Amino acid sequence: MTDLNGLIVFVETFGCQMNESDSERIAGLLVAAGARLTDRPEDSQVTIVNTCAVRGKSEEKLFSYLGRLRSLKKKTGLRIVLAGCVAQLHRDRILDRNPEVDFILGPDNYHLLPELLERRLGRPRVFTAWSKDWREDERRLSLRRSPVSAFVTVMEGCDNFCAYCIVPFTRGREKFRPLRTVLDEVRILAGQGYKEIQFLGQNVNSYRDPDTGAVFPDLLRAADEIDGLEWIRFITSHPKNFGPELAEAMARSRHVCRQIHLPLQSGSSAVLERMKRSYSREEYLEKTRVLRSLLPGICLSTDIIVGFPGETESEFSETLGALDEIRFANIFSFRYSPRPHTSAAKLKDDVPFGVKRRRLMDVQQAQKAIQTRIHEGFIGRTIRVLCQGKSKKDGRVFSGRSEGYQVVNFRSEADVIGRFVQVRITSCGPYSLRGELAESP
């Protein structure tokens, strides 16, 4: 039995929801092995950095953070564990240039941590082997940060190799958790009082149960039957794998939210082809029409990349046109950056930085106007909100999410965290709705 004997650990997370969920798993594992958590690296004996490599900027942020940890290490002698996607991808570079790092640990190797930390090791050690196994025991130990909403990973990795994307090289090929164990976890969470779960995967709708061959709509239908759970969400869906069966499963369910994140990336079919996305603008639009006819009022969100190699001004304007036509409830937009190993890295990164920056601003301005108009349509309406937390500045201001995943802020005298409330929307900005409780909780 490993005993970390009160070792003080700090976990920092960069990147996507899967990394957040992995950090909860790491924290759970270490606490079960006798460690204690702190929320400051200064107070820690071990700092674990769970990293993201998806864009050039994510990496820059990480390496400057590591610089700060290096100075801290000189003062306090803390040990540093580099985990996650950068660890998987850049092990050699880190070994060469970051002597402050004690362990380099890829996403399939977190189970090794308690034992590694128990032993004292003097030089960087690397653990980045791929594994096809799911370690279910570890998932049970997860120390979730939210008492209201829980992440449940159903698959990991990606086989799509979109031309710009590094994820298949950091998370490996697709692997699927057995349906039985996913549903067991969801039942336990529902029993613990979680109101919302979010199924996670790089490409959730390519899910296939390794035991029975059940597909993602089957998983949704089964989760929908679990008592106590109110809201079910999932992220991320690839438009290529998004068919009518999934839309119908969503429409027939009682608990799957009318909300979906469906990354478009570009509104130009020519750019989509160069990105190797396997769908055209028209096919994407058709999918949104099916979704909206089966699920009236559904909130769509998306990811957009500007400045992909060779993107012309007229191709870019097709992206603006698509935003106008689809009217997403929310978007995440990025300037293209070339990533190692990807096929687009071989293309000339020929859209000048200034042009990428201007296109990004154009996209964000256009979306801001669209969201403001959508939000104005909510004023005067009363909507159901799941309260997630409260403001740090004012203890009577609470924050929650609507079914469409919009941020809703409201005042309440009573603590309503973890509860569903009815909020009458009174005002809005482009990024959130504000309102007041329509009934006393």
Contact partner, 168, from ligand F3S, ligand SF4, ligand SAH, none, Cβ < 5-8 Å per class: ligand SF4
Out of 238, 356, 359, 390, which residue is the one contacting ligand SAH (CB under 6 A)? 238
**Cα torsion 206, 207, 210, 215: sign:** negative
Please, what is the minimum distance in Å from the beta carbon of residue 163 to ligand SAH? 9
Question: Applying CB under 6 A, which part among 12-20, 27-35, 255-263, 383-391 lies near ligand F3S?
Answer: 12-20
Site track 17-56 with ligand SAH (rule: CB under 6 A), x = hit: -------------------------------------xx-
> Which residues lie below 8 Å from residue 120, measured CB to CB, with a gap of 6+?
none
The Cα 28–Cα 137 span in angstroms is: 11
Please, what is the minimum distance in Å from the beta carbon of residue 196 to ligand SAH? 20
- Select 41 or 263, whichever has its Cβ closest to ligand SAH: 263
Please, what is the minimum distance in Å from the beta carbon of residue 347 to ligand SF4? 16
The Cα 150–Cα 195 span in angstroms is: 8
Q: 189: helix, coil or strand?
A: helix
> Which residues lie below 8 Å from residue 434, measured CB to CB, with a gap of 6+?
408, 409, 410, 425, 426, 427, 428
C-alpha separations of 21 from 16, 134, 252 in Å:
9, 14, 28
Bridge partners of 79, per DSSP, are 46
- Select 38 or 128, whichever has its Cβ closest to ligand F3S: 128
ω into 236 cis (within 30 of 0): yes
Out of 27, 163, 167, 320, which residue is the one contacting ligand F3S (CB under 6 A)? 167
Out of 162, 326, 344, 385, which residue is the one contacting ligand SF4 (CB under 6 A)? 162
Task: For residue 183, give both structure tokens.
Answer: 């549903």
Site track 203-222 with ligand SF4 (rule: CB under 6 A), x = hit: x-------------------
Residue from 405, 404, 400 nearest 387 by CA: 400
- Select 95 or 345, whichever has its Cβ closest to ligand SAH: 345
C-alpha separations of 156 from 166, 246, 316, 364, 405 in Å:
14, 19, 31, 30, 23
Contact between 164 and ligand SAH per CB under 6 A: yes
- Select 61 or 180, whichever has its Cβ closest to ligand F3S: 61
- Select 142 or 237, whichever has its Cβ closest to ligand SAH: 237
- Select 155 or 428, whichever has its Cβ closest to ligand SAH: 155
The Cα 226–Cα 228 span in angstroms is: 7
Question: Applying CB under 6 A, which part among 2-10, 154-162, 211-219, 387-395 lies near ligand SF4?
Answer: 154-162
Residues 48 and 14 sit within 8 Å (Cβ to Cβ): no
Contact between 301 and ligand SAH per CB under 6 A: no
Contact between 267 and ligand SAH per CB under 6 A: no
> φ and ψ at 162, to 5 degrees?
-55, 145
Residues 124 and 79 sit within 8 Å (Cβ to Cβ): no
The Cα 340–Cα 169 span in angstroms is: 9
Rounded to the nearest angstrom, the gap between the alpha carbon of residue 209 and the centroid of all alpha carbons in its chain is 22
Please, what is the minimum distance in Å from the beta carbon of residue 406 to ligand F3S? 23
Contact partner, 161, from ligand SAH, ligand F3S, ligand SF4, none, Cβ < 5-8 Å per class: ligand SF4
Kindly identify the residues of this chain, within the stretch 169-228, that bind ligand F3S according to CB under 6 A: 170-171
The residues that touch ligand SF4, with contacts defined as CB under 6 A, are 158, 160-162, 165, 167-168, 202-203, 238
The residues that touch ligand SAH, with contacts defined as CB under 6 A, are 54-55, 164-165, 167, 202-203, 236, 238, 263, 265, 303, 305, 334, 336-337, 339
The residues that touch ligand F3S, with contacts defined as CB under 6 A, are 15-16, 18-19, 52-54, 84-85, 166-167, 170-171
